[in-house]
């Protein structure tokens, strides 16, 4: 390798010297060679000429020197460009050598996630032979972490636009939401903020309007009441919200022609790495057909239930979390024709919509809700939502390898880690009699046993279409007394029971 690099450098030096030699010959050839001509003037440089034409010769020399300086400056720029592109040339040279050995197709090189293959060096130098699987310090050989380059259909580029859609109504506190979004967004061009307002509330409209060109303000035109069954009159707000979502998403995808969007409601505050989080996961969402959303929310993200030192942890979940989530235009084209009249979020959790697809969610939430008042009348707020921990540490997700989130790889590692964990009882957890740092597994076998265990450990116990909040393959992951716990069904789980609702 050293001999090859030395030959490359010598070749470059030879070309540089040759070029300068040719340049000097060219410039020398452009010196004036006037001889005796029609005016009977003497040859340049003769005693007769020097006396009267010395000034002209001096000017000619200065002009030539200026040309040499200009040419040298051009060469300097060329050399700087060569130096900047040297890694690409060396990489091409390696690939040419490898292609001779392995038959690589250089005309159709594999695509890569920009930045995803880079390992974050801020945590210290990692072992060359292994990587840490980001679930819970599970070591996996490099050969098992071969990137899914052949599966990548779309990658996030520096020019991909991912707008933020803020769903607003009559909360003037939307200012808190917008202030954080504007504070943390890295680019107004790559992440335009679109505020869609329902309700026609004048004070809220003035707050949104005060941001001027920093946001795009849309007003939902249909403010009329919706005809509902008499027993649903108290749910009129849910019907209006569903109508507003449908209108707003049609504006984003069909009128503004965006390919993806992150939806935020007006009572959410975002974390410092909110944009980094969604931007890094956009290519995963587009590449894995078993995913249908990315969410910033962990339903069990309360203090004490999450690991504060693992802000980089990401999971797959079968439960649709909402509360700051990303979807694609293709998914909206699938959902829009059958969009429900009300209760859109629970509708999303039904098997006919989910279709065995999952979302990605974080260990520590990237959104925090501060809106106690709303159509849900504060349901779960006082008991759960007000205690959700908002991430404060910036995690450079775009510089991490996130390919472990693809279903095949994730399922194998997740199932192995969950079902190799020692089986314990709830009394052991509460009594602190367990030995070791974990993880440990608690087993449930029925809806009632799940609810009893969940309530005793402080995690959310409700199920939607049989799926527990933050659950994946029936497993709910959380911390208890500083130890990782898996609340899991028996080994061999195959499907959710929709009667558990």
Tell me which H or E stretch contains 165. Answer: strand 164-168
Q: What is d(CA 482, CA 136) in angstroms, rounded to the nearest whole number? A: 13
What angle (nearest 5°) sits at the alpha carbon of residue 365, between those of residues 360 and 370?
130
- Name the E strands within 214-366: 215-219, 260-265, 268-270, 291-295, 314-317, 325-328, 358-362
- Decide if 285 contacts 317 (C-beta within 8 A): no
Report the candidate in 267, 264, 276, 483 with the shortest Cα–Cα distance to residue 393: 276
- Decide if 209 contacts 179 (C-beta within 8 A): no
Q: What is d(CA 52, CA 39) in angstroms, rounded to the nearest whole number? A: 14
Q: What is d(CA 433, CA 67) in angstroms, rounded to the nearest whole number? A: 85
Q: What is d(CA 183, CA 361) in angstroms, rounded to the nearest whole number? A: 23
Angle between the N-to-C axes of helices 202-209 and 174-184, in degrees from 0 to 180, rounded to the nearest 10? 20
Tell me which H or E stretch contains 11. Answer: helix 2-29
Q: What is d(CA 461, CA 447) in angstroms, rounded to the nearest whole number? A: 10
Q: What is d(CA 198, CA 256) in angstroms, rounded to the nearest whole number? A: 19
CB atoms within 10 A of CB 186: 10
Tell me which H or E stretch contains 488. Answer: strand 483-488
Give catalytic status of residue 118 as yes or no: no
The residue annotated as part of the active site, out of 120, 345, 411, 461, is 345
CB atoms within 10 A of CB 24: 12
Residues annotated as part of the active site: 345
């Amino acid at each position: 390798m050293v001999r090859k690099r030395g030959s490359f450098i010598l070749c470059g030096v030879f070309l540089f010297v040759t070029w300068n030699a040719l340049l000097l010959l060219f410039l020398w050839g452009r010196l004036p060679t006037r001889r005796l001509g029609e005016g009977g003037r003497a040859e340049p440089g003769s005693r007769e000429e020097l006396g009267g034409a010395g000034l002209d010769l001096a000017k000619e020399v200065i002009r030539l020197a200026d040309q040499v300086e200009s040419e040298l400056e051009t060469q300097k720029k060329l050399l700087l460009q060569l130096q900047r592109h040297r890694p690409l040339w060396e990489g091409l040279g390696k690939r040419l050598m490898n292609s001779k050995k392995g038959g690589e197709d250089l005309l159709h090189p594999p695509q890569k996630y920009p930045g995803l293959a880079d390992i974050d060096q801020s945590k210290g130098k990692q072992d060359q032979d292994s990587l840490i699987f980001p679930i819970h310090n599970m070591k996996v050989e490099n050969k098992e972490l071969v990137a899914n380059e052949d599966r990548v259909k779309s990658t996030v580029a520096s020019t991909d636009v991912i707008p933020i859609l803020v769903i607003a109504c009559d909360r003037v506190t939307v200012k808190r939401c917008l202030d954080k979004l504007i504070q943390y967004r890295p680019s107004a061009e790559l992440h335009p903020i679109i505020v869609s307002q329902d309700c026609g509330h004048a004070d809220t409209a003035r707050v949104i309007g005060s941001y001027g060109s920093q946001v795009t303000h849309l007003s939902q035109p249909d403010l009329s009441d919706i005809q509902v069954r008499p027993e649903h009159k108290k749910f009129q707000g849910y019907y209006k919200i569903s109508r507003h979502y449908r209108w707003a998403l049609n504006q984003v995808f069909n009128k503004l022609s965006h390919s993806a969007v992150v939806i935020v409601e007006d009572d959410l505050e975002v974390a410092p790495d909110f944009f980094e989080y969604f931007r890094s996961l956009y290519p995963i969402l587009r590449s894995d057909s078993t995913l249908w959303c990315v969410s910033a929310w962990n339903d069990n993200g309360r203090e004490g239930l999450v690991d504060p030192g693992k802000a980089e942890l990401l999971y797959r979940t079968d439960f649709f979390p909402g509360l700051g989530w990303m979807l694609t235009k293709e998914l909206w084209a699938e959902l829009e024709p059958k969009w429900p009249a009300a209760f859109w979020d629970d509708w999303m959790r039904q098997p006919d919509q989910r279709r065995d697809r999952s979302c990605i969610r974080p260990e520590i939430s990237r959104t925090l809700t501060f809106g106690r008042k709303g159509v849900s009348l504060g349901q779960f707020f006082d008991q759960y939502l007000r205690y959700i921990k908002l991430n404060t540490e910036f995690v450079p997700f775009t510089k991490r390898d996130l390919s472990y989130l693809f279903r095949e790889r994730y399922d194998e590692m997740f199932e192995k880690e969950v079902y190799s964990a020692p089986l314990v009882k709830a009394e052991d957890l509460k009594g602190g009699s367990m030995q070791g740092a974990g993880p440990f597994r608690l087993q449930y076998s029925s809806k009632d046993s799940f609810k009893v265990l969940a309530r005793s450990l402080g995690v959310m116990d409700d199920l939607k279409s049989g799926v527990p909040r933050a659950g994946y393959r029936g497993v709910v992951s959380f911390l208890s007394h500083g130890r990782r716990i898996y609340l899991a069904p028996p080994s061999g789980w195959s499907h959710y029971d929709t009667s558990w609702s």
